[in-house]
């Protein structure tokens, strides 16, 4: 169901892109937006591992430097049917973790020093299984495509200044103004909704990799608690990669719509439903 929802959201995002591009710039608008948006996000996707590690201040660690962590990742990645990812540690006191890389053969699993300090082993395994699930599901590619379309929508009006605008006479000025104002917001909301569905799916697949959902459910509760107690200073662009967004604010429905992660309580409830066989 998470994958179906992701497909519907991605189709909606691409449909919005086609509509806006056609109304604002005709066929030339579509081409300009797609080329520039895709080029920028392809660069980000291809070099994501190095860029993200740098932004988190993370360092790659060898099996000799972190034998227990490497052994844990190696054991879980075999259960997931994945090649061994690069392992890294980020110097942050807040317990957290993230995965990046353009494909399973170039993947990185990173944890913070705080998670190694505060997280029980069983829960740490749950966290790592979740990150390996992101790799298995190729969520970096999905996020890149969603970001590419959303970014192209946001920059389409500016790109059209250099592309000559519409190539026909069927423009609708009021509709164009409304789209310029509302389309980027709509694209961002869909992009965030895609991200939330991928987190739900990574929870589900992570629990399957681990063989039981309880450790991950407990880990999410612990991570959420620490996120409100210990700050983590990372660039907003890479904060959504963390298992619990370190910069996310709590709030009501509006906050949820603009969140890259589902509420922890919902994630835990779904994992508990797996325990009950629902």
pLDDT tens per residue across span 35-55: 666 666 676 667 778 888 998
**Could you give the residue numbers annotated as active site?**
131
Which segments of the chain does DSSP mark as H helices, in order? 2-46, 48-56, 67-80, 113-118, 121-136, 139-163, 173-210, 214-227, 253-257, 264-275
Single pTM value for the model: 0.80
Angle between helix axes 67-80 and 121-136 (nearest 10 degrees) is 50
Least confident piece of the model among 50-54, 109-113, 181-185: 181-185
Q: What is the mean pLDDT of residues 157-170?
A: 52
- Mean pLDDT for 207-220 is 96
**So what's the pLDDT on residue 3?**
55
Give the residue extent of every domain in the chain. 2-275
Report, as an integer, the average pLDDT of 232-236: 86
Cβ–Cβ under 8 Å, residues 109 and 132: yes
**pLDDT at residue 258, as a whole number:** 74
Digit-coded pLDDT (tens) for 258-278: 788 999 999 999 999 988 765
155 burial level (CB within 10 Å; 0-12, 13-18, 19+): middle
Q: Annotate 169-201 with DSSP letters as a single string.
A: S---HHHHHHHHHHHHHHHHHHHHHHHHHHHHH
């Amino acid at each position: 169901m998470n994958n179906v929802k992701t497909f519907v959201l991605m189709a909606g995002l691409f449909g919005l892109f086609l509509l806006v591009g056609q109304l604002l710039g005709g066929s030339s608008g579509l081409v300009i937006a797609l080329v520039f948006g895709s080029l920028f996000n392809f660069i980000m996707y291809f070099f994501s591992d190095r860029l993200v590690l740098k932004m988190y201040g993370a360092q790659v660690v060898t099996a000799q430097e972190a034998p227990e962590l490497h052994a844990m990742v190696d054991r879980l990645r075999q259960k997931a049917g994945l090649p061994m990812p690069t392992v890294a540690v980020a110097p942050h006191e807040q317990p957290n973790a993230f995965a990046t890389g353009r494909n399973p053969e170039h993947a990185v699993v990173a944890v913070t020093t705080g998670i190694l300090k505060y997280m029980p082993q069983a829960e740490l395994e749950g966290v790592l299984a979740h990150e390996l699930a992101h790799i298995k599901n190729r969520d970096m590619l999905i996020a890149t495509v969603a970001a590419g379309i959303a970014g192209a929508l946001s920059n389409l009006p500016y790109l059209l200044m250099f592309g000559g605008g519409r190539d026909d006479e069927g423009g609708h000025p009021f509709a164009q103004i409304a789209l310029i104002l509302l389309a980027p917001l709509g694209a961002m909301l869909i992009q965030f909704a895609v991200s939330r569905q991928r987190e739900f799916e990574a929870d589900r697949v992570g629990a399957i990799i681990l063989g039981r959902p309880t450790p991950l459910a407990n880990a999410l509760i612990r991570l959420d608690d620490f996120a409100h107690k210990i700050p983590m200073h990372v660039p907003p662009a890479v904060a959504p990669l963390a298992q619990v967004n370190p910069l996310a604010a709590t709030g009501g429905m509006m906050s949820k719509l603009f969140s890259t992660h589902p509420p922890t309580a919902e994630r835990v409830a779904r994992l508990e439903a797996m325990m009950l066989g629902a």
